[in-house]
Amino acid sequence: MIEELTRYWWVIGLRGVAAVLFALAAFFWPGITLAVLVLFFGAYALVDGVFTTITAVRAAPQKQRWWVLLLEGLVGIAVGIVTILWPGLTAVALLYIIAAWAIITGVLEIIAAVRLRELIEGEWLLGLAGIASITLGLLLAFWPGPGLIATVWMIGVYALVFGILLLALAWRLRGLRPNLSRQAHVGM
């Protein structure tokens, strides 16, 4: 699995870039309508789920523990599709959908980080991303009424932190690639 993660480090990087772009949009256009927020979040969850699923499918032939990534990706795809198909959701329903997605994704990211700790250093970055996801989910679930703009900013802060952590992880995985190539050649 580590070979696949280092080979496709850029997929994790793209997830990070998508999260940072989502955060910037939330900060610069906080007054966007609920319909736009719903569609924007749905698109983000769908893209994130697709990239996560791609990573899992590419890890599957190595018979690694790829099911956590696959489950995370499928949850993201499902949430994205549901959100896009029913953009008329109320603000509270959207908050609970986002909260559930963030908590589920966070738990799965922490599980993946625990599994990666034996393979790489820096797995704590994915663990922190998972904690950030769970924190957002809990904040949204227990305080749904601070107003749409405050919620957009909370989601923006989460997406920014999450994106930066994924970019840092991708950069670290990219740096591991030459070391793994050398180890493979020495082992031959």
Number of domains, the chain: 1
Q: Tell me: the pLDDT tens digits for 31-52?
A: 665 567 778 888 989 999 999 9
Average pLDDT over residues 159-179: 88
| Residues in contact with 107: Cβ distance below 8 Å, sequence separation at least 6, in sequence order | 130, 134
pLDDT at 90 over 60: no
Query: pTM of the predicted model, to two decimals?
Result: 0.55
Residues 45 and 174: their CA atoms lie apart, in Å, by 24
Tokens of 9: 């480090």
pLDDT of res. 99? 86
Checking if the pLDDT of 89 tops 70, the result is no
155 token code pair: 């989601």
State both tokens at 1: 């699995």
Q: What residues contact residue 156 under an 8 Å CB cut-off, 6+ apart?
A: 22, 23, 24, 25, 26, 27, 30
Domain that holds residue 46: 2-187
The residue among 155, 147, 183, 173 whose CA lies nearest residue 24 is: 155
CA distance 77 to 150: 26
Q: What interhelical angle do 67-85 and 91-116 show, nearest 10?
A: 170
For residue 32, give the CATH number of its domain.
1.25.40
State the chain's mean pLDDT as an integer. Answer: 82
Confidence of residue 73 (pLDDT cuts 50, 70, 90): very high
Q: Is the dihedral angle over the CA atoms 111, 113, 114, 116 positive or is it negative?
A: positive
**Separate counts of helices (H) and strands (E) for the chain:** 7, 0
Residue type, 136: L
Whole-number Cα distances in Å, 107 to 86, 91, 162: 26, 24, 14
What is the percentage of the chain residues whose pLDDT exceeds 90?
29
